[in-house]
Amino acid sequence: MRYLSARQMVFDAYRAQQGSVMAGASEVAALKAKVQKTQKQNNDWRIVDGLESGVVISAIESQPQHLQAMCRYCWGPFTRDELAEDMEWLHLALVRSMMSARLPGQGDKSRLSAKAWRTLTALAWAAIYHHGEVTYPYNRQGLVGPRAIKRWLEDERGTTIDVRRWSAPARLSWSDIWCQMLTTLDDWESRALGPVAALMTWAA
């Protein structure tokens, strides 16, 4: 295969394998060696492609569950039904990552109100969708602004949130929480794609 980016590697590897391959570090090393040897000695590039995709998938699936889920959800060639479990893993991880943050209206209370909890979990669904839309292979606009977020949640999740006080100067608002979620997803993307991008040197 000829790769242009780590995101493309994820997409092409799963498309080539039509499934997942789990390998330990020793198996990965053996696969790399076999790929390099095959590239020199064998003209059947289908074999090389299959071995390369196996190594890429192994690099993905040796990571924490939420990073694996991000790779498959954002850049894999899968249907919505096939991605349901990965979406749940990613959503759970994102909500957990936000539990240490103060939320709008929480004040000094240690517990969240039911309304704040509903808004937090709803925004996590929207943030994951948005992140997947704006990255390869879609490169779409995503959810721009609170009205688009609210509309998507109503249409896709059957959930309604109040966005009338989306932004509030000089105090914590839901727009701040939204930005924190997107920053977290950006960080996870970097961590998830790092091991994949490291393979580009020998896959080139």
What is the percentage of the chain residues whose pLDDT exceeds 70?
Answer: 76
pLDDT digits (tens, 9 = 90+) for 7-65: 888 888 888 876 443 333 344 444 444 444 444 444 443 433 445 778 889 999 999 99
What pLDDT was estimated at residue 179? 94
Any idea what the Cα angle at residue 197 is, between residues 78 and 37, rounded to 5°?
A: 95
Rounded-to-integer distance, Cα 38 and Cα 32, Å = 10
Q: Are 60 and 196 in contact (CB under 8 A)?
A: yes
> pTM score, two decimals?
0.78
Rounded-to-integer distance, Cα 84 and Cα 157, Å = 13
Q: Which residue blocks in the chain are alpha helix, DSSP H?
A: 6-17, 25-41, 45-61, 65-75, 84-98, 114-134, 146-152, 174-197, 200-203
What pLDDT was estimated at residue 56? 87
Low-confidence stretches of the chain (pLDDT beneath 70): 1-3, 18-51, 106-110, 201-204
Rounded-to-integer distance, Cα 62 and Cα 64, Å = 7
Rounded-to-integer distance, Cα 8 and Cα 2, Å = 10
